[in-house]
Amino acid sequence: MTGATSETTFRTAIVPAAGLGTRFLPTTKAVPKELLPVVDTPGIELVADEAAQAGASRMVIVTSPGKEAVADYFRDSPELEHALESKGKTELLARIRRAPGLLDVETALQEQALGLGHAVAQAEPNLTDDDAAVAVLLPDDLVLPTGVLSKMAEVRARHGGSVLCAFDIPKDRISPYGVFDVSDTDDGDVKRVHGMVEKPAPDEAPSTYAAAGRYLLDRAVFDALKRIGPGSGGELQLTDAVALLISEGHPVHVVVHRGGRHDLGNPGGFLRAAVDFALDDPEYGPALREWLTDRIGGTAD
């Protein structure tokens, strides 16, 4: 992170994981969607790994009653470790120790589903004086390849304020997102943000740059979150807190990510991510590719 100082970098990642997972019912009656496996690894481990790679040393999972399994996943399992150790299963042992070893995990509780802004606000009591900025990672979004958070930290070191990740999305598909009003900077991948609107109709979208689930937010966002009212969908929106900060002169930039993205928040997107990861997997990839080719060839006939 060239130029980053302890003032401008971050150590805490907030991961909102309190949602009901309605799009994955009936499975989410019993299993939180964040634990569904992308090949063999829960989506939230991929996100925790990304946060740790970018320098986070702790993760605050915002959870809701009944979703304790998400934080449990990051705890040690002494009995299982002992059983695997005594059978000499060293590779599996390393796999189950991986998540607890990534970073320190804490939880914050969101008792009512009042929106993403409300979820993030619940993590404020977990912060300390060292947290001048926090990263927020939405576990529904896989941003590939990883590394955008490090670039975002560089941009905060240079410009101050808050930095978000944007994807360029066709206008007719922009409505499910928070959308930025931007102007260019001297870096083609970095834009200055002048406003932000949550879930606009396509003809009201200020640009085709949409928020993609990665935020590096100045601590000032927690004060803004206390001053917003219900927005899109009647919920307290993180977008509205960012928009309020911008209107008060707080610098906000986006890093435009030119890579890929998977939406793990619905079965169709999840399946695509799983197939994408499985095709690259040395154990499952070759057989899956062969089967898929046959399967698709068969359907086309």
Residues in contact with ligand G1P by the rule CB under 6 A: 116, 138, 140-141, 177-178, 198, 210-213, 237-239
Q: Which is nearer to ligand G1P, 138 or 255 (CB)?
A: 138
Q: Which is nearer to ligand G1P, 105 or 169 (CB)?
A: 169
Nearest distance from C-beta of residue 287 to ligand G1P, angstroms? 32
Q: To the nearest whole angstrom, how small is the minimum distance from the Cβ of residue 128 to ligand G1P?
A: 26
* Nearest CB to ligand G1P, comparing residues 99 and 246: 246
Provide, rounded to whole angstroms, the least separation between the CB of residue 60 and ligand G1P.
18
Which residue is at the shortest CB distance from ligand G1P? 178
From the CB of 8, what's the least distance to ligand G1P, in Å? 24
**CB nearer ligand G1P, residue 3 or residue 176:** 176
Q: Least CB distance from residue 88 to ligand G1P, whole Å?
A: 43
Nearer to ligand G1P, 212 or 246 (CB): 212
Output the 3-class SS for the chain. Answer: CCCCCCCCCCCEEEEECCCCCHHHCCHHHCCCHHHCEECCEEHHHHHHHHHHHCCCCEEEEEECCCCHHHHHCCCCCHHHHHHHHHCCCHHHHHHHHHHHHHCEEEEEECCCCCCHHHHHHCCHHHCCCCCCEEEEECCCEEEECCCHHHHHHHHHHHHCCEEEEEEECCHHHCCCCEEEEEEECCCCCEEEEEEEEECCCHHHCCCCEEEEEEEEEECHHHHHHHCCCCCHHHCCCHHHHHHHHHHCCCCEEEEECCCEEEECCCHHHHHHHHHHHHHCCCCCHHHHHHHHHHHHHHHHC
